[in-house]
A and B are shown apart, each in its own frame.
Chain A
Amino acid sequence: MIATETDAYQESFNQFQTDQSSTAPAWLTALRQAAMERFTELGIPTKRIEDWRFTSVKPLATKPYQNVQSISLANGDAEELLQRAKLDESFHRLVFVNGHHVPQWSSQHELPAGVVIENLASSIRDGSRDLQGRLGLETSDEAAAFVALNSAFVNDGAVVDIPEGVVLDRPIHLIFVSVEDGHTVCHPRNLIRLGKGSGAAVIETYLGREGDGYFTNAITQIELDEKADLDHHKLQHEQTESLHIASTYIDQKDSSQFRSHYFSFGSLLARNEINCMLDGEEIVSTLNGLYMPTGEQLMDCRTRIDHARPNCNTYELYKGILDDRARGVFNGKIFVHQDAQKTDAKQSNQALLLSDDAVVNTKPQLEIYADDVKCTHGATIGELDENALYYLRSRGIAAPLARKMLIFAFANDVVQGVEIPAVRQHLETILLSSHGLPDV
């Protein structure tokens, strides 16, 4: 680690701590300080580290990104982006601009007793929630440096708490907009907790204004108690000069269900990690993803599933469509620990290369320490199926339309797994506009 790489972040951090000194509780100041020290110690990952071999985050070291202390909504850009991000007025909504909550754009419908949907800065001010343990997240995984950096600057994000037995009927939409000029960074931290037998659907949307590149360093922590059910969506639409690095940690208890739908369209570099800890029995987790880089984009999709206890099922399907000189990475780790007998884990990654210059690196990584388990994984990388093209053409469909049909179908498979109609329609519209099927 060259000292200068983190120096700029250190200056920014000192300023941040000074600004926060009058309002932050002592425990938080200490937590941030410890996290900053850990970040400095870990440093920004280089390509020499196996888990960062295909993904260079050099821009973070060469040109540091600045923290945004206050936001201005005057020029209308943020509002325009918000309109683009909105899916349905019936959703509960929390809006953040450059990492700061915007109460006037957020809206909540009537909530069942005990349900909390608020922003983290308010929760911290309020002081009534047990945040210290959760915000003190420290990991030793491949994303550890970015987790530490997020903790050092932790300030705002979403806090969702669904009490035992409550099933929320409206989805919760979290919108993160970046608009500030200059090389800015934000570190959203979202805390989602579902009590026993409760249920909810959450959508995270990330997007930003064209212009200077910015950096989003997001963390979402999810805790699902027994029999809880969460449908989680992430729509990554960051602008094409930006960096998006995010980790989602899910901790699941007995008989809980988790479904993740990850859709990656934006960013120059997007690295998304999903970590599932299956700490209970009879758990079902489904991780679906679709990444569609074009131009010079790099999309790095990483998942890690820890089967810690017996009788759990996980299903994973990731699909990539890569064009131009785009690059993709899929890394799927599955650990079946010694106690996790009767595990059923399925993983599939399929990538479609539309150009000779597009590259995808795929790495399934299964480590199995139990003997009575079913684990399957498959990876296919290829071009369009020649047999299918021939079949379509032999029915009179000209080659260009036949190709479009097959590309659309490949992606649509993942989109159709989304259960919320407004989200599904949003995604269908994107597919149609980029790899559009004409009305025939």
Chain B
Amino acid sequence: MLEIKNLHARSEDTEILKGINLTVNAGEVHAIMGPNGSGKSTLAHVLAGREDYEITEGEVTYEGKDLLDMEIEERAAEGVFLAYQYPVEISGVSNKYFLKAAINSIRKHNDQPLISRGDFVAMLKEKLALLGMDKSMMDRSVNEGFSGGEKKRNEILQMAMLEPKLAILDETDSGLDIDALKIVSQGVNALRSPERGIIVVTHYQRLLEYIVPDKVHVLAGGKIVRSGDKSLALELEDKGYSFLSEGAEAIAAN
């Protein structure tokens, strides 16, 4: 589904991604862990299409197409979804209008009939219940005045409504208490399916207790320095990120 080859990206004069290689197949959940500043969020935003980064080398193939050649909205319409670490507040645009505009923009792109008001309302009601959100939040401006936890739930709500093929969760666990974490994880797990790929970017192992990954990768210094199964996350939890420096040097030496 997603194949990243030797991806290099920079922001202004700083090279952040220094040769990422990663393959995500449909049905898999990959966790990307790593210390602060290792390039995790940059990778997530490069995949979503943020224009602040310059791709200097490498390629990204998504469902056989060149992802890096697509506009931001085109990627979303083709099924790529990024749940933001810091969701943006948009004053004056209601959540409901925003969601319906997004769904129908994607449907229009894919030559599908637009969603009817009734179907939209029914779907929204179901997803709100899944995430324990009150429907009054739908009449409020997008993320405006939402608590940290509400913003994160709102991201997962959008994901549930848009039903992407490839979901990237950027530090979705940050700022969540344990109850919110369980609810958000439940929302993500509900989307797990053989057709869908999920990338979970996180600093801590905690989230992975609820969203159990098939593969875990450690990103450090702009490169994936180790890959393994879910036991790698536990090892990291145990030893911290400091032991990585040896591993990173070993890889660099190779």
Residues in chain A within 8 A of chain B (CB atoms): 387-388, 390-399, 401-402, 405-406, 408-413, 416, 437, 440
* Min distance, Cβ B52 to any Cβ of chain A, angstroms: 9
Known contacts: A405-B101, A440-B97. The answer to whether A395 contacts B76 by CB under 8 A is yes
For B109, give its contact among A390, A396, A410, A413 (CB under 8 Å): A396
Residues of chain B at interface, number, CB under 8 A: 32
For B105, give its contact among A397, A406, A410, A437 (CB under 8 Å): A397
- Rounded to whole angstroms, the CA-CA distance of A322 and B91 in the bound complex is 19
In contact, B93 and A405 (Cβ under 8 angstroms): yes
B67 at the interface (CB under 8 A from A): no
Looking at chain A's contact residues, is the secondary structure mostly helix, strand, loop, or mixed? helix
In contact, A390 and B72 (Cβ under 8 angstroms): yes
* Min distance, Cβ B34 to any Cβ of chain A, angstroms: 22
- B81: A residues at CB distance < 8 A: 395
* Min distance, Cβ B80 to any Cβ of chain A, angstroms: 8
For B87, give its contact among A391, A410, A413, A440 (CB under 8 Å): A391
For B73, give its contact among A388, A396, A437, A440 (CB under 8 Å): A396
B84 at the interface (CB under 8 A from A): yes
For B51, give its contact among A390, A413, A416 (CB under 8 Å): A390
Residue pairs across A and B with Cβ atoms less than 8 A apart, 15 shown, are: A387-B88, A388-B88, A388-B90, A390-B72, A390-B88, A391-B88, A393-B73, A394-B48, A394-B49, A396-B102, A405-B90, A405-B93, A409-B141, A413-B91, A440-B101
Write the chain A residue with the least CB distance to B48: A394
- A412: B residues at CB distance < 8 A: 92
In contact, B76 and A393 (Cβ under 8 angstroms): yes
B146 at the interface (CB under 8 A from A): no
- Rounded to whole angstroms, the CA-CA distance of A86 and B49 in the bound complex is 48
- Rounded to whole angstroms, the CA-CA distance of A190 and B77 in the bound complex is 56
Write the chain A residue with the least CB distance to B104: A440
Known contacts: A409-B93, A440-B101. The answer to whether A396 contacts B88 by CB under 8 A is no
B203 at the interface (CB under 8 A from A): no
B184 at the interface (CB under 8 A from A): no
For B72, give its contact among A387, A393, A416 (CB under 8 Å): A393
- Rounded to whole angstroms, the CA-CA distance of A145 and B88 in the bound complex is 49
* Min distance, Cβ B185 to any Cβ of chain A, angstroms: 22
B18 at the interface (CB under 8 A from A): no
In contact, A440 and B100 (Cβ under 8 angstroms): yes
In contact, A401 and B105 (Cβ under 8 angstroms): yes
In contact, A395 and B98 (Cβ under 8 angstroms): yes
Known contacts: A397-B105, A401-B105. The answer to whether A392 contacts B98 by CB under 8 A is yes
* Min distance, Cβ A227 to any Cβ of chain B, angstroms: 32
- B90: A residues at CB distance < 8 A: 388, 391-392, 405-406, 409
- Rounded to whole angstroms, the CA-CA distance of A409 and B92 in the bound complex is 4
Write the chain A residue with the least CB distance to B92: A409
- Rounded to whole angstroms, the CA-CA distance of A387 and B87 in the bound complex is 10
- A395: B residues at CB distance < 8 A: 76, 81, 98, 102, 105, 158, 162
Looking at chain B's contact residues, is the secondary structure mostly helix, strand, loop, or mixed? helix
B216 at the interface (CB under 8 A from A): no
* Min distance, Cβ B115 to any Cβ of chain A, angstroms: 9
B181 at the interface (CB under 8 A from A): no
Within 8 A of A (CB), among B32-57: 48-51
Write the chain B residue with the least CB distance to A415: B92
B82 at the interface (CB under 8 A from A): yes
B219 at the interface (CB under 8 A from A): no
B104-126 contact mask (Cβ, 8 Å, vs A): 1 or 0? 11100100000000000000000
* Min distance, Cβ B103 to any Cβ of chain A, angstroms: 8
- Rounded to whole angstroms, the CA-CA distance of A413 and B93 in the bound complex is 9
- A393: B residues at CB distance < 8 A: 49, 71-73, 76
For A401, give its contact among B82, B84, B101 (CB under 8 Å): B101
In contact, B91 and A397 (Cβ under 8 angstroms): no
* Min distance, Cβ B126 to any Cβ of chain A, angstroms: 19
- Rounded to whole angstroms, the CA-CA distance of A395 and B82 in the bound complex is 8
In contact, A394 and B91 (Cβ under 8 angstroms): no
In contact, B73 and A399 (Cβ under 8 angstroms): yes
Q: Give the one of B72, B76, B100, B109 with max A CB within 10 A.
A: B72
* Min distance, Cβ B61 to any Cβ of chain A, angstroms: 20
- Rounded to whole angstroms, the CA-CA distance of A416 and B82 in the bound complex is 31
- Rounded to whole angstroms, the CA-CA distance of A413 and B90 in the bound complex is 11
Closest 10 CB pairs of A and B: A409-B92, A396-B76, A391-B88, A395-B102, A393-B72, A396-B106, A440-B101, A393-B73, A396-B105, A409-B93
- B88: A residues at CB distance < 8 A: 387-388, 390-391
- Rounded to whole angstroms, the CA-CA distance of A412 and B103 in the bound complex is 23
- Rounded to whole angstroms, the CA-CA distance of A318 and B21 in the bound complex is 51
For A406, give its contact among B93, B106, B109, B158 (CB under 8 Å): B93
4 new A-B contacts, CB < 8 A, other than A390-B88, A396-B76, A410-B92, are A405-B101, A406-B93, A408-B93, A440-B100
- A405: B residues at CB distance < 8 A: 90, 93, 97-98, 101
Within 8 A of A (CB), among B162-216: 162
- B103: A residues at CB distance < 8 A: 396
Write the chain A residue with the least CB distance to B114: A440
For A390, give its contact among B50, B77, B97 (CB under 8 Å): B50
Q: Give the one of B49, B87, B90, B101 with max A CB within 10 A.
A: B101
Write the chain B residue with the least CB distance to A402: B73
* Min distance, Cβ A404 to any Cβ of chain B, angstroms: 10
In contact, A398 and B105 (Cβ under 8 angstroms): yes
